[in-house]
Amino acid sequence: MITPRRTRLLRVPDLAAFQATLTDVAGQLTLGSARSTFVLVPTRAASEQLRRTLEDRLLTAERTALVLPILGTRNDWYGELAARLAAPPRVVSAFEREVILASVARAVAEQGVEPPFEIRPGLVAEMLDLYDLIRRLGRSVADFDRNLRGELERDRETDRGAEKLLQQTVFLTAVFERYEARLDALGAHDEHGLRGLLMGIADDADRAACPHPLARLVVTVGDRVADADGLWPADYDLLSKLPLLECIDIVCTEAMLASGLLERLHGVLPELGEEWPGGPAARAPILMTPPPAPGGGPAPVAYRYRDREEELSAVARRLKAERRSGSLDPAPLHRTALVVRRPLPYLYVARDVFAGSGVPFEALDTLPLASEPYAAALDLVIDVVSTDFARGSLVALLRSPHFQIGPDAVMPAKVIAALDAALAESRYLGGFNRLEKLAAEWSAIDVPGSRDERRRKTAAPAAAAALEAVRPLAPLAGPAPLASQIETIIGWLRRFDRPIDGEMPAVSRRLRVRAAVLGALRSLADAYRFHDPEATGDVSSVAAAIRRWLGSQTFAVTTGEPGLQIVDAQAARFGEFDDVQLVGLIDGEWPERFRRNVLYPSSLLVQLEPLPINPDPFRRERDALNAARAAFKDLMLLSRRRVRVSSFVLENDAVVEPSVLLDEIDTLPLARETSPEMRMRVFQSEALALEPRTTDVLAGPARRWAEARLERSTLTPERFQGAAGAWTLPRVSVSRLERYLDCPFRFFASEVLKLEEQPEDEDTRTPLERGRFLHELFERFFEEWQQRGHRRIDAASVPEARQLFTTICEDVLRDLPPSEAALERTRLLGSAVSPGIAHRVFSMEAERATDVIERLLEFPLQGDFRFRARDGRERIVTLSAKTDRIDLLADGTMRVIDYKSKKTPELKIALQLPIYSYCARVSLDGHGGRKWVLGEAMYLSFEGNKAVVPLRAKGQTVDDLIAGAHDRLLATLDRIAAGRFPIQPSKKSLCGLCPYAAVCRLEYAPSEEADPDD
Ligand code: SF4
């Protein structure tokens, strides 16, 4: 016998009546009936919102205490039903379900029923979703197999995709059957088993089996077509058959019922009676709209902004302006709501926007646990192993404020920086053994004999501490049972935890997040140990499992403080507000995109839908859209006084379309009033940046700092554009001046401030080392060539030159590691596809007819040189330089050569070649009793696009180019001496790999590239 029950549909005209009906239900409860009444709401945030509304409405001066019914979600309802049984069943957690399913999936595959995909944690979750879908639709695994297999077998001859889906169906059927058998064997239940258990309780045993049943259920959600958090066919089946449930009240607005829900409810609950408890609809709020466009036409219904940030900024501006002017009789902040479809992006933006404008706000939604800093720090622990203890991940671990590594609470930043640089210099590319070796070597340094050794000695304590920290993690690198791998991580997190100091809310939040992370890891480890002890894996499997789990966990946090309410669309239905703004009305969000199953197309899954509910998948999507329209209309009428809607056009710099729901606004009975955008300044940044500037908006050190900055506002703008004050260049070097011309600020960072560059991981020689290697190689070759009595390399002597060069190369390549030597050999001597560096150098000479009398290699240009600018200025500059090569030729001319590894400098800023050519002419005057004329100057590029780039420009002689270089040299010296170091890269591409990009405020600099003649 089924318990006699009353099943009512309480039809209400709008959300005001919806809330009033719920208030009536709650207000009439006694202590006893409240304990047996469950109000089913869509989300936890909705439950909190309803609790507040009920307390606001029911608590009065006369009624100071309230007994509320149980408020909870669908999951909470199942949990409550299980907990009320005399012998509560063992219900498996979500952790356990995934582990069990992964375990049986592996076993099924090992027995030869192969899946057409690789079994990964993400796909296990999708398989579980599919299983839940089947069971929530009220179908069994056998139904799934029969329906899909029948359909697919019909198509397998003509459709190759069907064959694959058939294989998948065979596999999934076997997995789901094994999963159910495993739960049976454990005597445990999931949601579906629990439902069967509850419906199977014999009526005569009702009272004994469930001594304190839920006698009344108030349903505030729709079905799963109308509501993502709604009830499924299997839930309605449970409602019909659940013993001892005496009363079911479904509360729903007329708009939602008219969207198709009414028909569906009568389909699943044939005994449903209808009542109209509420009065007439409440007065509709006024729709506030932006003014019409200047050209005329009707006012648009929605405010439009650039992006979410600008949208919230406008909200802050309006709220402050309304309160300052007092003209609009603003609603109190706690009765002002921003209704969002997806809370997360707004919660992140709100923290900055509302903090910056001093608007308190509150949100009830949960945030992803993975986005909390402590949870993100767990990635550092995983990364250090998955990167094989690479330099970057080690340093990141040491810098994390969440872990205490080494004896001190905080490891000094300069020690960590020294470790970073020392590891890079040692060409450390990871490996626990290598780290151990380096740590031992560095700790043995007693009296450092060089700069490198000094750095290593400084880094030694950090290396030792890092080694001790990662030693317990080393087993993660190899395969081991997943349960013990996760235990290793839990143990590490406990051992190296660094408690944080700070203000209480932050400390308490961090403690709660840490407890949640450790709790999630503990549950995962227990699930593996109990249900899948044979599951093994290394750090990549552990990382995938942990990331999958942390990614699906949420963390309840009250964001902000009481004030403006940021509520999601589900929770908003339960709140009372005077001023409502529906924000983010864009396509894909209002309404949310329909989530499709990744394993099967909708056209196949529709076979599982219970008749007569929507056998047509497109009809179901249409019904869902109708329900979204109805929910939107309800929300538009939620406010007691004013409502606004807003949208934006850019999401992550991509254009987004406005929501189709905006079209519904014209169908609503809303009076309209235009309200222009408020222009007043409300942000701290505006108070500090716009005149009249004020620091009142800040407190503490921030205010003192701002005041100090404002006092300096008399400084000339030049001080902010690179005027650093006079500076003396200790020693003039032309390559340094060229560096200044590349970018004065980069020169300032490296030469004046002496900021160290961020170390890079190099497994081979650095470009500098390789450049030096090539220079030395050619110096040695040409010395030997000349000693053997040779002069010019011509076509006839190229084979001999090549032979000699090969011999010298083989000699020096012996000092390189074999793999690097092989690569270098190909670069130098060439291959089938590339002629090689030697060919470039020899060809340059062979193509020129004049004989070479002498080669001056690494020729020093030292002493005082007189430079004269074209405007008549003159200065003697002491130089100490070396030119790569000067060839003295038989015709009394000389050829100045500057070797370059790849790129050659732009002639308009190049200094070295013209200045060295000039200095060579001066220095060699009278050399060998002759006067030498500059015949040619060139860059010889070893591996650039062009082998030879002559010092030549259209319409200019070499002397013109040298005169231009004199101008630049003197101007550059003047600018350095005057301390002018603006952010002025000679070309923007330099900034891409610039090591000083982090300290250079390029975004504030004028956009033009440098004028070298400036
Ligand atoms: S990032 Fe660009 S502008 Fe800034 S220092 Fe480097 S090269 Fe100069």
CA of 1 to the centre of ligand 1 (A): 82
Contact predicate 507/546, CB 8 Å: no
Closest atom, ligand 1, to C-alpha of 1000? 4
Measured CA distances, 184 to 24, 103, 125, 134 (Å)? 44, 15, 21, 18
Q: Residue 995 CA: which ligand 1 atom is closest?
A: 6
Q: Global pTM?
A: 0.76
Omega of the bond leading into 591 within 30 degrees of 0 (cis): yes
**Three-state secondary structure readout of 690-714:** CCCCCCCCCCHHHHHHHHHHHHHHH
CA atoms within 13 A on the CB side of 271: 12
Per-residue pLDDT, 865: 95
CA 896 from chain centre, in angstroms, equals 52
Amino acid at 249: D
Expressed in angstroms and rounded, the spacing between residue 749 Cα and the centre of ligand 1 is 9
982 CA distance to ligand 1 middle (Å) = 10
In angstroms, what is the span from residue 750 Cα to ligand 1's centroid?
Answer: 11
CA of 735 to the centre of ligand 1 (A): 17
Mutate-to-test residue for ligand 1 from 987, 994, 999, 1003, highest number of ligand atoms within 8 A of CB: 994
**Nearby residues of 109 by Cβ (< 8 Å), 6 or more positions away:** 115, 119, 171
pLDDT 10s digits, 493-504: 999 999 877 777
- If residue 852 lies in a helix (H) or strand (E), which one and from where to where? strand 852-868
* Ligand 1 atom with minimal separation from the 742 CA: 7
* Whole-number Å distance between alpha carbons of 42 and 72: 8
Alpha-carbon distance 475 to 528, whole Å? Answer: 18
Structure-token pair, residue 61:
């001066």
Q: Using the atom order of ligand 1, give the atom closest to the CA of residue 997.
A: 1
Cα 1014 to middle of ligand 1, angstroms = 18
What Å distances lie between residue 810 and 142, 768, 804, 815, CA to CA? 73, 21, 10, 9
- Spacing, Cα 985 to ligand 1 middle (Å): 6
Q: From residue 371, how far is each of 191, 367, 513, 552, 555 by CA, in Å? A: 29, 7, 10, 11, 9
Which DSSP state fits 257?
I
* Pocket-forming residues, ligand 1, beta carbon under 6 Å: 743, 745-746, 983, 985, 990-991, 994, 996-997, 1000, 1002
Spatial contact of 913 and 939, defined as CB atoms under 8 Å apart? yes
Q: For residues 122 and 385, give the distance between their C-alpha atoms in angstroms, rounded to a whole number.
A: 22
Determine the Cα–Cα distance for residues 598 and 601; give it in Å rounded to an integer.
8
Cα(774) to centroid of ligand 1, in Å?
29
989 alpha carbon – ligand 1 mean position (Å): 9
The closest-lying atom of ligand 1 relative to the alpha carbon of residue 744 is 8
Distance of CA 106 to the CA centre of its chain: 32
Q: Residue 138: helix, strand or coil by DSSP?
A: coil
Q: Which atom of ligand 1 is nearest to the CA of 988?
A: 2
* Dist. CA 580–CA 8, nearest whole Å: 31
Instruction: Give distance in angstroms: CA of 497 to centre of ligand 1.
Output: 39
Tell me which H or E stretch contains 860.
strand 852-868
Residue 85: what residue type?
L
Pocket test for ligand 1, best of 738, 740, 747, 991 (most atoms within 8 A of CB): 991
Give the pLDDT score at 553: 83
Q: What token pair was written down for 593?
A: 């995109």
Residue 413 burial (CB count, 10 A):
10
Q: Position 267: which residue type?
A: G
**Six-digit token pair at 890?**
């038989």
* Strand (E) or helix (H) holding 646: strand 642-648
**Which residue intervals of 269-412 are DSSP H helices?**
308-325, 343-357, 373-386, 391-399
Pocket test for ligand 1, best of 990, 993, 1003 (most atoms within 8 A of CB): 990
Query: How big is the CA angle at 357 (ends 356 and 361), to the nearest 5 degrees?
Result: 95
Q: Which of 1002, 1003, 1004, 1009 to mutate to test the pocket of ligand 1 (most atoms within 8 A of CB)?
A: 1002
Which of 51, 67, 66 is closest to 19 using CA atoms?
51
Residue 753 CA, ligand 1 centroid: distance in Å:
14
Q: Which of 797, 781, 790 is nearest to 858 (CA)?
A: 781
The 3-class secondary structure across 927-957, one letter per residue, is: HHHCCCEEEEEEEEECCCCCCEEECCECCEC
Report the atom number in ligand 1 closest to the C-alpha of 745.
Answer: 5
Both tokens assigned to 221: 């959600």
Residue of minimum CA distance from atom 2 in ligand 1? 991
d(CA 721, ligand 1 centre) in Å: 13
User: CA-CA distances (angstroms) from residue 44 to 26, 29, 373, 567, 568?
Assistant: 18, 22, 23, 12, 11
Report the atom number in ligand 1 closest to the C-alpha of 984.
Answer: 3
Q: Which of 1000, 1001, 1009 to mutate to test the pocket of ligand 1 (most atoms within 8 A of CB)?
A: 1000
HEC profile for 153-219? HHHCCCCHHHHHHHHHHHHHHHHHHHHHHHHHHHCEECHHHHHHHHHCCCHHHHHHHCCCCCCEEEE
| Sequence-ordered list of residues with C-beta below 8 angstroms from that of 893, at least 6 positions apart, any chain | 850, 932, 933, 934, 935, 936
The pLDDT value recorded for residue 227 is 93
Residue ranges for the chain with pLDDT beneath 70: 1-3, 202-207, 326-328, 557-561, 611-617, 713-716, 763, 1006-1014
CA of 988 to the centre of ligand 1 (A): 8
H-run or E-run covering 305:
strand 303-305
To 5 degrees, how large is the angle CA 594–CA 597–CA 603? 85
The pLDDT assigned to 796 comes to 92
Separation of CA 975 and ligand 1 centre (Å): 18
Closest residue by Cα to atom 7, ligand 1, is 991
Cα gap 372→721, rounded to integer Å: 39
253 alpha carbon to ligand 1 midpoint, in Å? 61
Cα-only R_g, the chain:
38
Q: How far is the CA of 916 from the centre of ligand 1 (A)?
A: 27
Interval between CA 907 and ligand 1 midpoint (Å)? 20
Give me ligand 1 centre to Cα 101, in Å.
Answer: 54
Distance between first and last Cα of the chain: 98
The alpha carbon of 90 is separated from its chain's Cα centroid by a whole number of angstroms, namely: 39
Q: Do 895 and 886 form a contact (C-beta atoms < 8 A)?
A: yes
940 beta partners = 899, 948
Which of 745, 755, 757, 758 most suits a substitution to test ligand 1, by most atoms within 8 Å of the C-beta? 745
Residue 998 Cα to ligand 1 midpoint, Å, equals 9
Cα dihedral 75, 78, 84, 86, rounded to 10, equals -130
Q: Which of 740, 989, 996, 1009 to mutate to test the pocket of ligand 1 (most atoms within 8 A of CB)?
A: 996
Structure tokens at 690: 């716009």
CB atoms within 10 A of CB 170: 19
Instruction: Pick from 740, 741, 746 the residue to mutate for probing ligand 1's pocket: most ligand atoms within 8 Å of its CB.
Output: 746
Residue minimizing CA distance to atom 5 of ligand 1: 746
